[in-house]
Amino acid sequence: MVSTDVDESSLGQEFRDEMQELLAPLQQSLASVIDQTDGRIALPPNAADALEGFHQSLPDTGTGAAKAIEQLLALNESAGGNTGGPKCFHFVIGGSTPAALAADLLATAYETITYTWVLSPVGVQMELQALDWLKQLFGLPRAWSGVMVTGATMANFVCLAAARQWWGEQHGFDVSETGLSGKPQMPVLSSGFIHASTLKCLAVQGIGRGNVQRFAGDDFGRLDLQAMERALIELDGQPALVIVNAGEVNAGEFDPVNDVIALARQHNCWVHVDGAFGLFAKLSPRTEHLVEGVDQADSVTVDGHKWLNVPYDSGYAFVRDYGLMAKAFRYSADYLPEENRERPTPGAIGPESSRRARSFAVWATLQAYGRNGQQRIVEHCLDVAQHFARQVERAPQLELMNVVNLNIVAFRYNPGGMNNDQLDDLNASLGEAVLADGRFLVGTSKIGPRTIFRPAFSNWRTRFSDVEEFAEVVLVLGQRMMDGRRI
């Protein structure tokens, strides 16, 4: 029995007062953080020093919100990456449009939850509307189902879960009920471009990351279609999963989407397309040929926090068959809602139950800028990539390492007189030097055995002047490194 004879604590009033006091300074801080996005350094060079002594034991009495937020702002200035800024070319990271950023802040301010319709009818409807708009944007069939998740890793997870469900049904069992124990191995075929996140998903779904057959015709990983065809013929109608890579991360190359899907359609395959950033090629007449035929797939992954320019985290899984998603992710309890297509529960067709309103930002940016606005963002980034490629071609010490198909430029510093192995070491060290310098956030990778820089341009904020400065920084730091070697 709980006693009813209790006095109300003052906590509620204290927090209400504190929230009130926080509003004006928060408004100011938000304005200045957003306003300084262009100017804030990409990666503060002394971040590690600034974090010295950061870890402390839990305070018994806290500092209060104003001080904590002040501290957070100061720490971020000294040790935060400016990943939304114009000079972040690492991984494939987009910026945020004004509408998307504002809507996302509101999603947090409203504390909106999109697990199920009843918690936020508008949050859930915005998700459905935004997913429908995205299907129109990418030319995917509108009858397909979809769900918003944290990013392309989880979108791949959803799509592969649907594929696994299909594969089980082909064998006459329900994978989500029986599991995989004692079942045959699921054949998985792809090119050398398969993304690491897909392997992670295959690993956790019991399919096995080591179970992928990669048909690569060269050491970059480009698809050997004939070899894939021979393997499919050998399967003799056994159900299989074909993973098509529409946009690989080292140079923005593509598997031949149309050809692979046409081939897979002659066999008993589920075709999944990982178009995390590559699907945006569809938005420009200059690049749409790269994803021709994607509407013939069974599932497609796209990221929003990359080229849609909505804030992290935001990704989308599109699946031809709603029923497979519903079976793969079904769960029930007396206190949870039952399946209802009119008043849906996105939490029951994807991995997360608790979900923030990613839909606000996606809906707002599509509503604010429409198809033309998204095309302009994509073409701006294509232009930036081409402009940077010209800087590389102009500088005798820089070498383009692949054609520039899309938004990633693979290049290396090559001052002459060094063999490939020496150049690999030099570029790996130069990559570290560029990060330590802090003006640009950018990564290195490998095409075959060769070490390359791979700046990816996916942010509307990046200007031609930024990539000109980037080329200059690589040249100056490269020269400094060469001078150091000679001493």
Which residues of this protein are in contact with ligand PLP, per CB under 6 A? 91-92, 151-153, 195, 197, 247, 249, 274, 276-277, 303, 315
Q: For the sheet with 411-413, list strands across it.
A: 398-400, 411-413, 450-453, 444-447
The least distance separating ligand PLP from the CB of residue 197, rounded to whole angstroms, comes to: 4
Residue 107 or 152: the one with the smaller Cβ distance to ligand PLP is 152
Residue 99 or 408: the one with the smaller Cβ distance to ligand PLP is 408
Residue 276 or 406: the one with the smaller Cβ distance to ligand PLP is 276
Query: Helix, strand or coil for residue 356?
Result: strand
Of 233, 116, 212, the closest CA to residue 156 belongs to: 212
Residue 316 or 413: the one with the smaller Cβ distance to ligand PLP is 316
Residue 92 or 389: the one with the smaller Cβ distance to ligand PLP is 92
Of 402, 372, 152, 384, the closest CA to residue 284 belongs to: 372
- Residues 294 and 257: beta-carbon distance below 8 Å: yes
The least distance separating ligand PLP from the CB of residue 251, rounded to whole angstroms, comes to: 12
Residue 283 or 423: the one with the smaller Cβ distance to ligand PLP is 283
Residue 442 or 477: the one with the smaller Cβ distance to ligand PLP is 442
Residue 91 or 173: the one with the smaller Cβ distance to ligand PLP is 91
The least distance separating ligand PLP from the CB of residue 304, rounded to whole angstroms, comes to: 9
CA separation for the pair 263, 377 (Å, rounded): 33
The least distance separating ligand PLP from the CB of residue 407, rounded to whole angstroms, comes to: 11
Distance of CA 216 to the CA centre of its chain: 24
CA separation for the pair 124, 96 (Å, rounded): 22
CA separation for the pair 180, 171 (Å, rounded): 11
Residue 66 token pair: 């104003």
The least distance separating ligand PLP from the CB of residue 389, rounded to whole angstroms, comes to: 20
CA atoms within 13 A on the CB side of 484: 10
The least distance separating ligand PLP from the CB of residue 317, rounded to whole angstroms, comes to: 11
Long-range CB contact pairs, 257-262, < 8 A, 24+: 257/290, 257/291, 257/292, 257/293, 257/294, 258/292, 258/293, 259/225, 260/223, 260/225, 260/228, 261/293, 261/294, 261/296, 261/297, 262/293, 262/296
The one-letter code for the residue type at 4 is T
Residue nearest to ligand PLP (CB): 151
Residue 190 or 391: the one with the smaller Cβ distance to ligand PLP is 190
Measure Cα distances from 14 to 21, 65, 66, 96, 404 in Å: 11, 11, 13, 35, 57
Query: Helix, strand or coil for residue 180?
Result: coil
The least distance separating ligand PLP from the CB of residue 151, rounded to whole angstroms, comes to: 3
Q: Which residues contact 410 (CB under 8 A, 6 or more apart)?
A: 250, 251, 400, 401, 402, 447, 452, 453, 454
- State the DSSP code for 389: H
Angle at the Cα of 482 from the Cα atoms of 477 and 483, rounded to 5 degrees: 95
The least distance separating ligand PLP from the CB of residue 223, rounded to whole angstroms, comes to: 15
The least distance separating ligand PLP from the CB of residue 262, rounded to whole angstroms, comes to: 22
The least distance separating ligand PLP from the CB of residue 193, rounded to whole angstroms, comes to: 8
Residue 86 or 304: the one with the smaller Cβ distance to ligand PLP is 304
